[in-house]
Amino acid sequence: MPKKTNRTVYVCSECGEEYMQWQGKCAVCGNWNTLKEFSVPVATASAMRSGSVSVEQKAQVLNDVRTDMVKRLGTGFSEFDRVLGGGIVPGAVMLLGGDPGIGKSTILLQLADKLNQPVLYVSGEESAEQIKLRAERLGVNSAHIKVLAATDATQVQAEIEAHKPTLVIVDSIQTMYDPAFPSTPGSIVQVREGAIRFQQLAKRIHVPLVLVGHITKEGTVAGPRTLEHLVDVVLYLEGEPEHDLRVLRAVKNRFGDASETGLFMMQEQGLVEIDNPSQLLLEERMEAPGSVLTMVMEGSRPVLVEVQALTVPTVFGNPRRTASGFDLNRLNLLLAVLQRRAGVDLSNHDVYLNIVGGLRVKDPAIDAAVCVALASARSEKTVNSKMVIMGELGLAGEIRRVGKQERREKEAQQLGYVIPPATRQLRSLIENVLQNKPKLA
């Protein structure tokens, strides 16, 4: 009887867990109907599981481990270095995700140029000629950049081991194909096994590696969740298509602050670093009802942003609630608190909220500014243009302190802005910052 060369495994599309037989629910992540069938070569699978391609290390005392030879590599891209925690760590594996056309390939090509050291740029989506055309448009010096247009993971690994560059960029991990696993590029098995191969290679030869990942409609990196667990750093490049602002955000970083961000502007010559984001976001501001300034934290950096609100009587039965750059569910919660605790009734008004500049704000310190902006728009009374309002709002209408409040206040004062007198209640804050008590009849 011929020896079986392939075996069937069932892989969860959410967490990447393997099963020998199909079952309705994944026992690891708890999701239903996520197991997909794959055929895997027996020999290759056993070799992978036996550790024949893993990094061979011996156990040693932690105090004896030397770190004096591990130095971060400065990229010359200050905003990129800020997000990474000071530079690239040798052997680090980084995953960069973002919407199509947001500028992932652009920022990596600029990174390779600024590094000014041997870089291997592996592209599975573009030809070498297409990459050269983009480099010429960006003014990139390509003398130290080698381009490899390939999708075979084995060939890519051989090139990396042969040249041992200072940095490797793989654009993208979903296009890489391992012949040992007979499935289409971008499938769960291919993405996972390709990431494992590159991760082990980076650790073995101490070459940092950047993997570009495609984004799903939910905004997460396509492929199994184990992909994010395998890498050391997970970065997302965010931005609105109609705005030039781009935010490089770290959501995982084993070597630095996981909440750090870098700010860029998309221009003709590529992504340009922003030195003073507060000035950029407020340069065209007009004093009007519904306009309020607040201070939010983008990583470790305080940024002054403008909150704009507009309220109009609703025409139809159900009032509209629209938010740009702010969570809509959070807006509905603040509207309920505003009506119940501060007497600002917007139940028969359409509400429109906008964070100027295309910035997406999740900082709870913006709550108080949103409520004041809504009250200002409803009463048609303006707020002092030099006043900065910040504070997290509770369901009882109380205004709570926020993280790094002293640093926010110091930054606002250095920019020439003032903080309103401290108050614990939302109703009192609204009455204090508006010129008179708003008439909301």
Task: Name the band, by pLDDT with cuts 50, 70 and 90, for residue 218.
Answer: low
63-72, 311-320, 326-335: which range is least confident on average? 63-72
Residue 4 has pLDDT above 60, yes or no: no
From CA 130, how far away is CA 135, in angstroms rounded?
A: 9
Q: What Rg, from alpha-carbon coordinates, does the chain have?
A: 26
For 69-78, 119-128, 153-162, 190-199, which range has the lowest pLDDT when averaged over its residues? 69-78
Mean of the pLDDT values across residues 376-393? 93
DSSP 185-200: TTSHHHHHHHHHHHHH
3-class SS at 133? helix
Mean local confidence (pLDDT), 382-404? 93
Residue 295 scores a pLDDT above 60: yes
Q: 440: Cβ–Cβ under 8 A, 6 or more apart, which residues?
A: 343, 344, 345, 378, 379
Residue 376 has pLDDT above 70, yes or no: yes
223 φ/ψ angles, rounded to the nearest 5 degrees: 115, 180
Model confidence at 165: pLDDT above 80: yes
66-70 average pLDDT score = 75
Please provide the DSSP assignment of 45-114 as one string. Answer: HHHHHHTTTSPP-----GGG---TT---B--S-HHHHHHHTSSBPTT-EEEEEE-TTSSHHHHHHHHHHH
Q: Which of 23-27, 37-41, 173-177, 336-340 has the lowest mean pLDDT?
A: 37-41
Q: Please classify residue 436 by burial: count the beta carbons closer than 10 Å to its beta carbon, then call 0-12 exposed, 13-18 middle and 19+ buried.
A: exposed
In the chain, the percentage of residues whose pLDDT exceeds 70 is 89
Q: Quick one: pLDDT band at residue 46, thresholds 50, 70, 90?
A: very low
Per the model's pLDDT, the better-predicted residue between 368 and 50 turns out to be 368
Short-list 424, 392, 421, 423, CA closest to 405: 392
Q: Which CATH number fits domain 71-275: 3.40.250.10, 1.10.3720.10, 3.20.20.140, 3.40.50.300?
A: 3.40.50.300
Say yes or no to pLDDT of 44 above 70.
no
Query: To the nearest 10°, the Cα dihedral for 81, 87, 91, 97?
Result: -10
Q: Residue 248 pLDDT > 90, yes or no?
A: yes
pLDDT for the residue 219: 63
Q: Which of 230-234, 347-351, 429-433, 436-440 has the lowest mean pLDDT?
A: 436-440
Looking at residue 220, what is its pLDDT?
A: 67
pTM of the model: 0.78
For the chain, the structural domain boundaries read 6-50, 71-275, 279-433
Identify the pLDDT of residue 182: 67
Instruction: State how far the Cα of 330 lies from the Cα of 401, in Å rounded to an integer.
Output: 18
The closest alpha carbon to 29, from 224, 228, 232, 221, belongs to: 224
- pLDDT, residue 257, reads 86
| Per-residue pLDDT tens digits for 345-355 | 999 999 999 99
Which candidate, 407, 391, 408, 390, places its Cα nearest to that of 399?
A: 391
What are the backbone dihedrals phi and psi of residue 41, each rounded to the nearest 5 degrees, phi first? -60, 135
**Which pLDDT does position 440 carry in this prediction?**
41
Is 166 a residue whose pLDDT tops 90?
yes
What band does 56 get if pLDDT is binned at 50, 70 and 90?
low
279-433 placed in CATH 3.20.20.80: no
- The most confident of the ranges 182-196, 250-264, 364-378 is 364-378
